[in-house]
Structures are given as C-alpha cells and as structure tokens.
C-alpha cells in the first residue's frame, strides 16, 4: 500500500494530535496528575495511590474506548457508504445501532439474567446490529434512491425507539435500571478488564476489512464491475454487513448510541485524501475517527466541572451540520 507524500504528512500530523490528546485525556481531570504519574501508573501500579487508580481505572478505559469507538464507527461508515454507493449512509442513520439497542432492550428487559451479563449484552448488540444490517441490505434492493434508503433507516430508528419506550413501561424496576444505564451511553461505562475482549473484536473487524480491500475498491464502480473482475458479489455484501455489525455492535454494546461519527468521518476522509483506494481510506477512517472522538472527549472533560455533556450530544452537535453541508453540496 503505497501512500503519497501528502497522505503521509496528513497521517503523521493526525497521529501526533491523537497522541497529544490521548495523553491529555490521561493527565487532565479533577485529580491532579502529571505525565510521570501516568508512566508510574502503567509500569509501577500501586493500588494505594489515588492518582494511579484514577488513571488506570477511569481515564485509561475512557480514552481507549474513545479511540476504539471513533475508529470503529468511522470504518463501519466507510464500508456502508461503499456498499450502498451512498455518501449519506452510516451505521447510525441506517439504524444499525437501533438493531443493537432493540436486542439489548429485549434481552435485559425480559428479566432473563443471562441477557444482563456482559456476554449477554455484547452478544445481543452484535446480533442486533447484524440482523438490522441484513434487513437494510435486503431493503436496499427496493430502495434504489439514495435519499429513500436514508429515510428508511431513520424510520427504522424511530420505530425501534417506540418499541423500546413501550418495553420500558412494562418492564420490572430492576431490569429497567440496567437497561437505562446502558442506553444513556458514554465512553466512561467501560471497565479496564473489559478492554482486552473489546480489542480482540476490534482487531478481528479491522483484519477482515483489510482482506476485502480490493473488491471494495472495485465496488465503487458498481456490483457488476465487481462481478466482472471475478469476485463474488454476494459474498462481499455479506462480508461487509458482518464487519459493519462487529464494529457497530461493539461500540453500541459498550457506549450506547453515538451518532454521526460514522457518517461524517468517512466523507471527510474521502474529501481530504481525494481517493477511493480503500486501503488508504480505511487507515484514514480509523485514525481520523479515533482522533475525532478523543477530541470530543477532551472537550467534554474541559467542561466537566460545570456540566457533563453526553458524548452522543456532542457528536450530533458537530455531525448534523456537517451532514447538512454534504446534502447541500450533493443537491446542488
């Protein structure tokens, strides 16, 4: 994968920013710490030192999750935009994470204890994302228009939130609490011990994505072009839906819904890199996505003394105007 000099420069600058903001995320907070404290907390952890506990138990998982969630959602968005040949597609607008929400809601609110366990929640979230991915894929056959597919996804989202609201009314207090906590969504919900499992799913999804780089490159010319180059279109479609479900389900399971990252960052990547080579694009989406969410998190932490802005609120605040900008550019 050869990169042009301008791409390299862009990646290096973003990488440096990501590093700085991540360190900032580890250092800043109510408990005063320094970079050497972070180093100490990593290599000479002592559970009697409050600073070490804060860094390892609170800040590290939060920053790690910001990186993983931002990267995952952006990569998922890129895959969906290529699959549907639609720059307005994304895991949130097409309702993929509604699928996760629905299944997690059904599971936890059913009162069956398995579904409230960690494995239960992740399993439900991944399965829900996959089912809705397939559902959207099947409907896309009938919804050839780019805007109709988008509206369909948004309607799907509204429909699901209606079901969830009704479920909540009828649910037991105990299970309602579990679900409400989950559905609030934040980067802070994840614990350090959960990070390895999250990383495994994350890495699997990335590796799978890199395996379909070539057919993805051709897919921008349409499914017929993919077939003409000797690839199996059906297999490719399933592969994309599976990977999207892994990325989206993973994030939704641990952070709840995070809007617009998966729509805005893939568009931004294509605009900045001026290419449709998915090897470069995937890398860019992972990097820019991570940077964006870590930056959002840093912004939240900055105001955390006066008010705690939910991550979903902030990404929507930035993402929604950007989507409108793309829409206007497209409709012109």
C-alpha dihedral (212, 73, 6, 280), degrees to nearest 10: 0
Residues 243-272 that bind other proteins (CB under 8 A): 270-271
Rounded distance between C-alpha atoms, residue 236 and residue 238, angstroms: 5
230 CB-contact burial (10 Å; exposed 0-12 / middle 13-18 / buried 19+): exposed
Structure-block tokens of residue 72:
């995952």
Instruction: Give the residue with the Cβ less far from other proteins, 50 or 211.
Output: 211
Give residue 98's Cα distance to chain centre: 13
Q: Which is nearer to other proteins, 51 or 270 (CB)?
A: 270
Task: Write down the least CB distance from residue 75 to other proteins, Å.
Answer: 16
Candidates 279, 298, 299, 318; binder of other proteins (CB under 8 A) is 279
Q: Name which of residues 182 to 211 contact other proteins (CB under 8 A).
A: 210-211
Size of the site for other proteins (CB under 8 A): 28
Helix axes 118-140, 146-170, angle to 10 degrees: 150
Q: Specify the residue, 59 or 278, whose C-beta has the smaller distance to other proteins.
A: 278
Among the listed residues 27, 135, 275, 320, the single contact to other proteins using CB under 8 A? 275
Q: Which residues inside 221-240 make contact with other proteins, applying CB under 8 A? A: 221-222, 224-225, 227-232
> Residue 168 burial (CB < 10 Å; 0-12/13-18/19+)?
middle
Residues 183, 101: contact at Cβ < 8 Å?
Answer: yes
Residue ranges in 130-169 that form contacts with other proteins under rule CB under 8 A: none
Structure tokens at 142: 């009938």
Residue whose tokens read 């955390």: 304
Smaller CB separation from other proteins, 157 or 262: 262
Smallest distance, Å, CB 242 to other proteins?
19
What is the per-residue binding string for other proteins in 52-91, x denoting contact by CB under 8 A? -----------------------------------x----
Q: Which stretch binds other proteins (CB under 8 A): 62-70, 91-99, 216-224, 250-258?
A: 216-224
CB of 151 to other proteins, least distance (A): 22
* Nearest alpha-carbon partner for 131 in 150, 161, 103: 103
Closer by beta carbon to other proteins, 3 or else 154: 3
Burial annotation 136-164 (CB, 10 A radius, 16+ → b, else e): bbeebeebeeeeebbebbeebbeebbeeb
Give me the residues that bind other proteins (CB under 8 A), please: 1-2, 87, 210-211, 213-214, 217-218, 220-222, 224-225, 227-232, 270-271, 274-279
């Amino acid at each position: 994968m050869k990169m042009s000099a301008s791409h390299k420069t862009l990646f290096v600058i973003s990488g440096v920013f990501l590093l700085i903001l991540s360190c900032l995320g580890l250092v800043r907070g109510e408990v005063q710490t320094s970079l050497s404290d972070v180093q100490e907390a990593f290599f000479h952890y002592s559970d009697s030192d409050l600073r070490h506990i804060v860094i390892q138990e609170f800040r590290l998982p939060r920053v790690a999750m910001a990186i993983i969630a931002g990267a995952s959602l952006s990569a998922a968005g890129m895959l969906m935009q290529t699959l549907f040949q639609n720059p307005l597609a994304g895991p949130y607008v097409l309702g993929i994470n509604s699928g996760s929400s629905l299944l997690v809601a059904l599971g936890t609110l059913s009162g069956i204890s398995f579904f409230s366990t960690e494995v239960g929640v992740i399993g439900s979230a991944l399965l829900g994302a996959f089912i809705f991915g397939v559902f959207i894929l099947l409907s896309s056959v009938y919804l050839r228009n780019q805007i109709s597919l988008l509206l369909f996804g948004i309607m799907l989202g509204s429909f699901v939130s209606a079901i969830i609201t009704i479920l909540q009314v009828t649910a037991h207090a105990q299970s309602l609490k579990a679900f409400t906590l989950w559905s609030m969504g934040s980067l802070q919900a994840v614990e350090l011990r959960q990070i390895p499992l999250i990383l495994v799913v994350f890495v699997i999804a990335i590796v799978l994505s890199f395996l379909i780089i070539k057919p993805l490159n051709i897919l921008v010319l349409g499914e017929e072009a993919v077939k003409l180059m000797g690839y199996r279109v059906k297999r490719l479609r399933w592969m994309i839906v599976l990977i999207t479900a892994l990325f989206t389900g993973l994030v939704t399971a641990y952070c709840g819904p995070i809007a617009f990252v998966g729509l805005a960052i893939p568009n931004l990547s294509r605009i900045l890199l001026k290419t449709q080579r998915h090897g470069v694009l995937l890398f860019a989406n992972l990097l820019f996505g991570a940077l964006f969410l870590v930056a959002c998190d840093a912004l939240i932490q900055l105001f955390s003394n006066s008010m705690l802005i939910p991550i979903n609120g902030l990404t929507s605040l930035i993402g929604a105007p950007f989507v409108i900008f793309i829409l206007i550019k497209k409709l012109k």
